[in-house]
Amino acid sequence: MAENKPDIKRELLNKDAPIGVFDSGVGGLTVVREIMRQIPNERIIYFGDTARVPYGSKSRETVTRFSGQIVRFLNTFQVKTIVVACNTASAYALDVLEKESDIPMIGVVKPGARVAAEVTKNGRIGLIATEATVGSRIYPKYIQELKKNVTIYQKACPLFVPLVEEGLLEDPVTDEIARRYLTELIDIDIDTLILGCTHYPLIRSTLRKIMGEGVTLVNPAYETARELKELLAGYDLLCEEPPALGGNRYQFYVSDKAEKFVSFANSIIKYGILSAKSIHIDAY
């Protein structure tokens, strides 16, 4: 975070370098979309771990090990910062990764927690996320550091990711599963719901329908991009001008199924992604 600048090696940082972004798969593209909107002059290297997706049902040790390999891969591009665009990896691995990193890093959990703490009026906040993120209890920890007298009600929603991956974004089955997951949160009268997994903004309309208009839905992607901009500005690393033509402005890497990724990515980002490259991430 910009307010606690880590002990980074400034001489390694270069304003023209790209930003590294990673996720377990395609969900992190909802964060990339926001970064492209808010700081459009930046170059981005994205990595999606499609060979080992999902992360949300896996252990801290495994998610941390996988994330470490990805950070090593992104560092081969001399990125100026890394965005952990996955709630599970932010929850389990960011602390460890930051300690080992020479460059500033940012996850999606702190920004999401910050917005939720700001917007709640009745102090009752819901969090929907993967089993891993819920189990880590990191959202309650951060929110309660920011604001007293707040209660966080957590609910793991393990079927949302496969339903989104299957494209059932507006479907009676997704409605039914969402109703089961969310009923207890409605019953306890939350006024704020954090979408604590980067896939969930893609079923926002279903969640909105079930939660009703009275509940604020918090998508950490928007706030993450805003804090990223602040972070870069704080280190004087924001690009003022678009990169030269002909440079690869946005590059996408995956660990499997590059073509399927490209097709999904183009449904999320309107930029026109032509290709993604497949690499062996476990070699890093």
Active site residues: 86, 197
- Choose between 46 and 55: whose C-beta lies nearer to a copy of itself: 55
Cβ 19 to a copy of itself shortest distance, Å: 27
CA distance 91 to 7: 21
CA distance 167 to 170: 8
Cis peptide preceding 158, ω within 30 of 0: no
Q: Does 76 bind a copy of itself (CB under 8 A)?
A: no
Positions in 54-73 near a copy of itself (CB under 8 A): 57-59, 61-62, 65
Positions in 246-275 near a copy of itself (CB under 8 A): 255-257
Identified binder of a copy of itself from the candidate list 173, 188, 205, 233, rule CB under 8 A: 173
Select from 71, 78, 111, 65 the least CA-distant residue to 9: 78
Q: Based on C-alpha coordinates, what's the Rg of the chain? A: 18
Of 7-15, 40-48, 142-150, 166-174, which part binds a copy of itself (CB under 8 A)? 166-174
DSSP 3-state of 217: strand
Of 92-100, 114-122, 159-167, 215-223, which part binds a copy of itself (CB under 8 A)? 159-167
Q: Does 282 bind a copy of itself (CB under 8 A)?
A: yes
Select from 135, 136, 89 the least CA-distant residue to 108: 89
Angle at 192 between CA 156 and CA 166, to 5 degrees: 45
Task: Give residues in contact with a copy of itself (CB under 8 A).
Answer: 50-52, 57-59, 61-62, 65, 158-159, 162-163, 165-166, 172-173, 176-177, 255-257, 280, 282
